[in-house]
Amino acid sequence: MTINERKADLRRQIKQMEKQMPRETRAQSDACLARQLLRLDALCQARTVMLFSPFGSEPDLSPVLDACAADGKRLLLPRMTADYGLEAREVRGRESLRAGTFGILEPDDDCPAVPQHEIDFILVPAVCYDVHGGRLGRGAGYYDRFLSGYTGMTVGLCRNCFLQQDVPWAAHDIRVKVVVTEDRVLCCTDGLQLRG
């Protein structure tokens, strides 16, 4: 089986698990993930933060967005570009969002683009993660391209039940530095010390 076939198979497995997850279990998981993330020193210390708008059954990030805004952080969300890329755009509230590609809420035209080197912290979406920071995305490579060359903090959220020992991985796939689950913070970079 090729890496792409293994990735597709794992995506199907996770999608099936998502369908079977009761709504109240998902809501409890979302709340725990948000609490864990908000306690993370890397997020607390960051001034310019890029989050994402949840798609499908990805965790609800409303509490994190609200807390970052209340803390005065410069808040960014991704916007897909015509050339299958991503750009970070600054948002000032939910009123500056619109439905974009795949129906995902993203910054509207009035939100200014922010250069990647100004971003302190990027929360990276995924279908699932592994314990080494390996990420199974949705297959289009948007984040792998966007994160190529980025040296700041990258963090992934993953429900415990979706956390893998190893996800299928190719040379172009970008790992995150930290994976946050409902009850733990996994440091995926040698020598990086975190409290969370």
**Using an 8 Å Cβ cutoff, are 178 and 187 in contact?**
yes
The pTM of the full predicted model, rounded to 2 decimals, is 0.92
pLDDT (tens digit per residue) in 124-175: 999 999 999 999 988 788 899 999 989 999 999 999 999 999 999 888 889 9
196 falls within a domain = no
179 falls within a domain = yes
42 falls within a domain = yes
State the pLDDT at residue 56.
77
CB proximity list for 2: less than 8 A, separation 6 or greater: none
77 falls within a domain = yes
82 falls within a domain = yes
**The CATH number of the domain where 23 resides is what?**
3.40.50.10420
Helix runs in 59-125, H state only: 62-70
Print the domain residue range for 44: 3-187
pLDDT (tens digit per residue) in 41-89: 999 999 999 999 888 778 999 999 999 999 999 999 999 888 888 999 9
Indicate if the pLDDT at residue 5 is higher than 50.
yes
**Count of CB atoms situated within 10 Å of the CB of 122:** 26
Instruction: Read off the pLDDT band of 193 (50, 70, 90).
Output: very low
193 falls within a domain = no
- Structure tokens, 9: 């198979």
Number of domains, the chain: 1
194 falls within a domain = no
State the pLDDT at residue 103.
78
> How many angstroms separate the CA atoms of 98 and 104, rounded?
8
131 falls within a domain = yes
Indicate if the pLDDT at residue 117 is higher than 60.
yes
Instruction: Read off the pLDDT band of 190 (50, 70, 90).
Output: low
State the pLDDT at residue 85.
86
